[in-house]
Amino acid sequence: MGATIFLNIISLIYIILLVFVFFSKERISKPENKIFSYILLVSLIELLSGLLLYITMVNFQQYLELNVLVNKFYLIAMLSWILLFTQYTVVISIKNLTDQKLKNINYIFWILLFIFSILILLLPLQLSYIDSELMYSEGSAVDALYGISSICIIVMLICLILNIKQVINKKYMPLLCYIVLGSIALFIQQSNPELFLITPLEMFLTYLMYFTIENPDVKMIEQLNIARDTAEKANQAKSEFLSNMSHEIRTPLNAIVGFSQALQEEDLPPNAMEEVKDIVSASNSLLELVNGILDISKIEANKLEIVNTEYSFKNVFNDLVALTRARLGEKPLDLRISYDESIPNVLYGDHSRIKQIILNLLTNAVKYTKEGYVEFKVSSVIQGDVCRLIVSVEDSGIGIKNENIDKLFTKFERFDLEQNITIEGTGLGLAITKKLVDLMNGKIVVQSVYGKGSKFTVAIDQKIVAGKEVSVEDHQTEIEIFDASDKKILVVDDNKINLKVATRLLSNYNVQIEMVESGFECIEKIEAGVHYDLILMDDMMPKMSGVETFHKLQEKGVTIPCVALTANAISGMKEKYLNVGFNDYLSKPIDKLELNIIMKKYLRK
Ligand code: ADP
């Protein structure tokens, strides 16, 4: 008995600690967790009543009734533990646990506890003393508890085995081991009543449950994992929605931009020409808006990746100068450029994003400056294998009020609307610029004097790639139409209007055009032996996509240059198509200059 009471006291200390730790932690309130908290409390009561029983049996042997009563209370505590454990097992094994089912299980628990407690109270119980220290109880009350416990074990085993899949899924397998362990202990206890195995075993199982299946931290992590998975799924759905929207909006825009651009080349009466210009300008703004919204959504969904490659900054610079010149149009602005020749030939970074950042600043400078100059300056600081690019874009434009500088990088914020009423914009450009600079661990600062002008400076570190050369490309800014009447192009697109737009844009080159509306027809044509010099292939087509068609052509050993054509022009698409093996990529709405570059590359003699 001495050893038993020692075990009892140790268990009591542990359970008190466990109760303290468990209830001081943040917990989730699932039905099984609630039952476990009752198990913990009942464990405490059971241990306290065990201790009380020891005290009364040793010190107040003469008060038999008192001892029997305390003993029965102790048995009822044990009964409650076993019933709660059974309830726990039943709850976790039920598949679709509704509130109603849970309520019913609760009722059954309380009814059984009530009936069995009365039974234990009414049935006789004898106390047996082996010596003054070693004693135990026996009689029908104790037998009843054994009987109930055995039934509970059978119920639990049936529940777990019938729902084994669910139990494994929810990681409740340890429970099965506990029940087997419990049954063995019960059997040993029944044949050796003086052993006092049950209470320590129940306490042991309570600890085990805490450390395996009922730890609130583990439960919290599980819950967080579920929340993360749900969020990821939602994010995925959002990305898919965005890419579909991009496609849906660009397809009609392709027709608007394509035909209005073509109309500009016609001999139109002056006011009709003005209106066509307005259509071109408005559709370009709409396109800019679609791109901006896609970019910002991608950034906010953490989907925007920085794709680093080796590149020549000189190429980026030349491109930017050419684009800015094109944007200046007839505006009487002095474009001052300055390039630091000590910038290493080949850098490693995301050149298309760097270009996007600087182009946003240059476009704004041109937009918000009526007269004077726009200065585009690039310098560098080299340290080890890192080149810090310092890009500044200065203008003598309208400037920004001091109080607006902080709000400059907030999306959809535009200022001085009374002044800027005629200047188109979305208020997204600088928000995207700032996020891109942050993604590349760079810095952007703004200095501005209202009414005088502004200066945006960006610093971004790029790795230097030593000992390599990247050829400086020729930067085309003007469209050079040529005669390609001896060449043949195949345009593959499921959308009839898109085919018409492509035909209209290609008609300038007098090239022979054939059009098909699906990948199947494209393959048929090629198989029939028709020779083409170039294939323009839309990607998003029903039944067989452009990429699938392209793969089929490759399998057949077709080597005709193939350019991917897609309205799903979110960033990263160009790299995707080039990786697939396409020779080039054109986004819809088709830009006349880009088309011209492709035509020259593949069809000019
Ligand atoms: P958008 O130009 O499409 O309106 P941005 O995000 O690029 O959007 O710019 C936000 C606002 O900041 C602009 O509407 C304009 O009021 C102001 N801004 C940006 N750049 C300049 C600049 N260089 N000079 C004066 N104001 C500017």
Chunked in runs of 10, what are the mean pLDDT values of the chain (605 residues)? 75 88 80 90 91 84 86 93 93 86 93 95 83 72 91 91 82 81 84 75 83 76 86 80 77 85 86 88 82 79 80 90 86 92 91 92 94 95 94 95 90 75 78 93 95 96 83 66 91 91 90 94 92 92 92 91 81 79 89 88 85
Q: How far away, in angstroms, is 448 Cα from ligand 1 center?
A: 12
pLDDT score at 472: 58
User: What value, to the nearest 5°, has the Cα angle with vertex 237 and ends 236 and 242?
Assistant: 100
Go through 88-110 and write b for each residue having 16 or more CB atoms within 10 A of its CB, e for each that does not. Answer: bbbbbbbeebeeeeeeebeeebe
Q: What is the pLDDT of residue 210?
A: 83
Asked if residue 370 lies in contact with residue 399, where contact means CB atoms within 8 angstroms, the answer is no
Q: How far apart are CA 66 and CA 74, in angstroms?
A: 12
pLDDT computed for residue 25 by the predictor: 80
CA 472 to chain centre: 38
Give me the pLDDT at residue 134, please: 56
Q: Is the CB of 416 under 6 A from ligand 1?
A: yes
Which pLDDT belongs to residue 218? 75
Question: Which has the closest alpha carbon to 543: 508, 517, 513, 568?
Answer: 517
Ligand 1 pocket test: pick from 394, 430, 455, 456 the residue with the most ligand atoms within 8 Å of its Cβ.
Answer: 430
Task: Specify the pLDDT at position 410.
Answer: 86
- Measured from the Cα of 426, ligand 1's closest atom is 3
Which residues contact residue 379 at a Cβ distance below 8 angstroms, ignoring those fewer than 6 apart? 338, 340, 390
Q: Is the CB of 368 under 6 A from ligand 1?
A: yes
pTM of the predicted model over 0.75: no
Q: What is the CA(391)–ligand 1 centre distance, in A? A: 18
